[in-house]
Amino acid sequence: MSKKALSILMRARMRPNNDTNHSLSPLSLTNAVNQLKQNKNSREGKSAGGASREENPASNGSGNSERDFMRVRDSMDSAVSINKTEVIDDVLNNFSEGYFSLSHENRRKLLLVLAREYDLNRSQVRELIKQYLALELPADKAQVSEEEGLFASFYRIERNLRHALKPVYEVLFERLNTHPGGLRFLSILRADILSTLREENIASLRALDSYLHEKLSTWLTPAALELHQITWDDPASLLEKIVAYEAVHPISNLLDLKRRLGIGRRCFGYLHPAIPGEPLIFIEVALLKNIAHSIQEVLWDSPPIPESEATCALFYSISSTQPGLSGINLGKFLIKRVITLVKREMQHISTFATLSPIPGFMQWLLSKLASQTKLAEGDMSQTVTEGSSSTFYENVLKPEEEEALMNLPNITSFRDVAMGQTGMEIMFNLLTSTSYQWIHSSELVSVLKSPLMRLCARYILQEKKRGKALDSVANFHLQNGAMVERINWMADRSEKGLSQSAGIMVNYVYRLGHIEEYAHLYFSNGEIHASSDLHHYVEQQSDRKQ
């Protein structure tokens, strides 16, 4: 289906018709969504680090030769060194087109050349530092204003140092930023850098990434971005990108897409004039009477309420579209802008909350269960005196939870799955079953709910890395000034939700008037604000340890 045909199809869904209520058949829905996904794969399909297949003919076998590599390297050198403004656009075009033609290995080689050979001149920096250290400061600080001329040498060397500390590749980045299509190219370039760093931790490449990250952060300030409300009236090409890039709750068909853009729903994206028609990041909002407990009620349950009755704006999905902008917190600015906009347009909205995934919970929990089970096995394999068990051992279960799990093998239908010598081992076996059998048993669900909810609260509020929340989504919302309001049982029954967090989701709330305060306290000392219900979970855990 062509883009034009897709556009006609989508707009036909909007036109009222007095004779009949036109609706898409299941077959046409399936075909349309499949076409969206095919378009995504053909246009946005990522080669190493993020370039599309159209931009990367190397995926078809070209761009592998040394000759190809040298040709693009020469064009990169010209893009840095040429100062004739009348030809610089052509030179930059040649470089970007040549880069996209390279194979993965040749891109990697070129990035290493850029990082190492276009770095700063350290010999010059060292010489300037020697000169600077040789200068004598006036002994009497009171004479400084009277002897301003004595500082001329300081000012000169400091100016030269600032210039010498700029790597040569800054010139390339600055020129590309002002070149048509250059910002998108820089995003793809950084995605390739990040991809290479995941394979090899190379110091010069880390420095290149850090510098480019800093530049992109400067260029992508909120002042340079346009907040756009995405609606069903937008071009099909833009709506297609929403389907393609939705990373939290995949859009299943066009009816699903239309619902997310319809009554009681909002979708906002940040656009940049240098990357027209493509949001860098977008957020989906549901207008509700109360904070939702589950994603099912947001996406699939009864029709949305009249917007005039809504009191809560619920952020249920936020997706970034550019891998190369990783680490640039556009979401922070987007959420705050959307809160301001929604509050201004709908004054009856008083609550701003999220229904968020907990992507790292199961990974942490299973690792914890596995390590503690192993320690327990080690203790049981030796004859030890009372109190001599490992200081690292911790039974993460309460006695009553342990007892309930130990009785599970008596359930005939789950005897093969729920095997183990301890409650932790049984819990581990149940949660690692790829069929997720436990969610189909009311008894298993009842037994697992208590420990999973308690441990999830512990994970969000207490498990930290460098003083900040271990969970990436928790860290994101907390550093933006949110508080943890509630964790919700069986809030996401999808396979992704079960594998990430046993189906549990969390509500973060942005309390107007406290956002900056909470963000500052979290940033300065890792303090996490949470409701009394959440604190009750972890206080019980702390009391049991004492």
- Which residue pairs from 513-517 have beta carbons closer than 8 angstroms and sit at least 24 positions apart in sequence? 514/481, 514/483, 515/336, 515/480, 515/481, 515/482, 516/481, 517/481
Residue with tokens 């229904």: 355
Shortest CA distance to 339 belongs to which of 515, 483, 188? 515
CB of 218 within 8 A of CB of 170? no
Which one-letter amino acid corresponds to residue 432?
T
CB of 212 within 8 A of CB of 172? no
Residue with tokens 């058949």: 25
Q: How far apart are CA 157 and CA 309, in angstroms?
A: 65
Exposed/middle/buried for 15, CB within 10 Å: 0-12, 13-18, 19+?
exposed
Q: Which of 104, 249, 272, 477 is catalytic?
A: 477
Q: How far apart are CA 461 and CA 539, in angstroms?
A: 11
Exposed/middle/buried for 110, CB within 10 Å: 0-12, 13-18, 19+?
buried
Q: Kindly provide the residue ranges of all beta strands, DSSP E only, lying in 417-469, ordered along the sequence.
A: 464-465, 468-469
Structure tokens at 90: 């052509």
477 is an active site residue: yes
CB atoms within 10 A of CB 507: 21
Q: Which of 356, 388, 499, 532 is catalytic?
A: 356
**Interacting residues of 294 by C-beta distance below 8 A, sequence separation 6+:** 355, 488, 490, 491, 492, 505
CB of 296 within 8 A of CB of 493? yes
Q: How far apart are CA 267 and CA 318, in angstroms?
A: 10
356 is an active site residue: yes
Catalytic residues: 356, 477
